[in-house]
Amino acid sequence: MISSIVKSSLMSMCIAVVAVYVLHYIQSNFIFQFLSSNIITIQIGLLAINAATLGIILTKLKDIVDKGVPRAEFESVRVQMLLSIREQVALIIMAIIIISLAEAKALPFHVPQMVFQVVLLACFVYALLILYDTAKSVFVVLDDVS
C-alpha cells in the first residue's frame, strides 16, 4: 500500500517537473492559472466520479459474493478502494494548502513559485492517476463477471 502511494507520488512529481520545465521554456502560464482557479472543483468532481464508480464495482463484487465467492477474497480490494478515497481527500487538502501558500503575501520563508507550480500540477496528475486506476478496475471486474 505504501509502495503504491510512493510510486504514484514519484510518477506524479516527475510528470509535473517535466511539464513545468516545458511550460516555463515556452513561457506559458495558462495551466498554472487554470489549476489555481479550478483544481479544487476538478478534484471534487473526480472524487465524485471515483465514488460513483466504486459503487458500481461494489455492486458487481456483491453479485460475485452472492454467487459463492468468499467475501474475504475481496478484502484487499476494499482496502484499495478506501485508500483511493483517502488519497483524493488528501490531494484536495494539499491543493488548498499549496494555493493558499502560493498566494500568501507574508510567508516567513521564500519558496520559488516554480515549487508551488510543480506540487500543484503533481496533485492534479495524481488525481488523474487515481481516476485511471479506478477505471481500469471496472474493466477487471466486468471481465471477471462475464
pLDDT in tens, the chain (146 residues): 678 889 999 999 999 999 999 999 999 999 999 999 999 999 999 999 999 999 988 888 888 888 888 888 888 888 889 999 999 999 999 999 999 999 998 888 889 999 999 999 999 999 999 999 998 888 877 776 55
All three cell numbers of 104, joined, read: 500568501
41 to each of 6, 74, 95, 121, how far by Cα in Å? Answer: 25, 32, 11, 14
89 to each of 32, 45, 62, 140, how far by Cα in Å? Answer: 21, 12, 26, 25
Closest residue by Cα to residue 118 from 17, 2, 9: 17
For the chain, what's the residue count? 146
Mean pLDDT over all residues of the chain?
Answer: 91
Handedness of CA 37, 102, 22, 19 (dihedral sign): negative
Q: Where are the domains of the chain?
A: 2-24+33-145
pLDDT tens-place string over residues 94-133: 999 999 999 998 888 889 999 999 999 999 999 999 999 9
> What pLDDT, on a 0 to 100 scale, did the predictor assign at position 144?
62
Q: Record the pTM.
A: 0.89
Distance CA 48, CA 11 (A): 23
